[in-house]
Structure 1
Amino acid sequence: DDKQLRLQQLQEMIGLSQSALSRLVGRLEAKSCGALQRHICEDDRRGIYTRLTPLGEEKLDRALQTFHQVLQSILGKEHLQREFHFLMGKI
């Protein structure tokens, strides 16, 4: 709900090494990108959280729109019909 995860949780979800994830988060956190914001866990000072910023949300929304448009253009109805006929011919 608050669009944040512990870095350890994020690492487990996406399968990157700790150092690779740290570099990635650092790049997404940099002023030139501004998509993420890192902060220390108040309950456990060893824990580090990363939070999606409003700018990060906008960038994510735009990326998802582009992703869906590309998928739609590639997997449009005509393409799926051609693939279906091709696969049926192989059976």
Structure 2
Amino acid sequence: MNETRQTEKERSFMTTPLSARGVPVFVVYLLAFIGGVYILNPGAGVIELIPDNIPIIGNLDEGGAFLAIWYGLLEYFEGRKYRRQDDSAPN
């Protein structure tokens, strides 16, 4: 039991829910929502954090938005497992 818990804690940063690292769950969901709105682009490209026509770094803002969405989905699907394990762990 203890070995499996250690291997789960050693998981990659990309596959561990942020709530397991101390970030409040509502913050993760809020960032994922903002990232989704940014990707849907309701301003039709008028509002850009980094203009897309700048070479190399032009798409970093979209990458950050997708990363926020990724962590939101990861929190939704994997975060419940972590919270359930913490609740069932003896004090």
TM-score by length of 2: 0.32
Higher relative contact order (CA 8 A, sep 6+): 2
Higher fraction of strand: 1
Structure index of larger Rg: 1
